[in-house]
Amino acid sequence: MTKSFAVKLGQGGFGAVYKGSLHDGRQVAVKMLKDTQGDGEEFMNEVASISRTSHVNVVTLLGFCLQGSKRALIYEYMPNGSLERYAFTGDMNSENLLTWERLFDIAIGTARGLEYLHRGCNTRIVHFDIKPHNILLDQDFCPKISDFGLAKLCLNKESAISIVGARGTIGYIAPEVYSKQFGTISSKSDVYSYGMMVLEMVGARDRNTSADSDHSSQYFPQWLYEHLDDYCVGASEINGETTELVRKMIVVGLWCIQVIPTDRPTMTRVVEMLEGSTSNLELPPRVLLS
């Protein structure tokens, strides 16, 4: 299937991903998890989570293999790799792919995928590791949420979630995952991670297209809050429509990273905000920015 693991697509803490092909010619991505002890909880968790999903913005699991300590997951192949590859490497060859319109489409597609995980599939799923590395892009740059190793399956009636220890990636983990003093852990923890990712997309686009920046010494979300209008006008080199897309991404991102979980919107509301007019978008309270 993988031709002796000839083509490596990526590497992570879980192991490596290789390009392969099925007997019918379909290209696939084979995720080989590192040899693990115990019952392979992360592997079974990913299989249980992703096998319950079917959405255009969630990667499709085609199969899996469990043989002794060796574990593999077989996913649909995403020819354009991850969002991280384009937005955060500074690769000048990909700069033409990072238009504001494309970034906005990726942001709203990811939001729809998360809304589905939180509300649309038969068992509510909280991902717990939303970040650019886990947003894969197909041939048309349609975003698909991947890597469900840390996901939590929940009863639909549940609001709060119980977990042991912090889970996720530093920089994207919601405050309540670290400490209960900020509130209970819920799907709003994914909302926080999503907001940080969207604001990072905005910042990365700025770094890739600006020769110098006057906000490198300040917490970027705070800087955006204070300079929102000027930033949006500066980003709109083409037309006013671009200004509206940039403003939506920033305002939605700022709402999503509110410290108190109950102050954050649901992903359903996030989709509504991104699909709606900027005239209806208000900035969140400044005092709640971390």
Q: Rounded to whole angstroms, how far apart are CA atoms 46 and 98?
A: 30
**Is 152 labelled a binding residue?**
no
Rounded to whole angstroms, the Cα distance separating 164 from 187 reads 16
d(CA 157, CA 8): 41
- Token pair belonging to 221: 């979300």
Write out 185-201 in H/E/C secondary structure: CCCHHHHHHHHHHHHHH
**One of 35, 129, 147, 263 is an active-site residue; which one?**
129
Bridge partners (DSSP) of residue 74 are 30, 63
State CA 238 to chain mean position distance.
27
β-strand partners of 151: none
- How far apart CA 43 and CA 74 sit, in angstroms, is 12
263 assigned to active site:
no
Residues making up the binding site: 31
Show which residues are catalytic.
129
Residues making up the binding site for ATP: 31
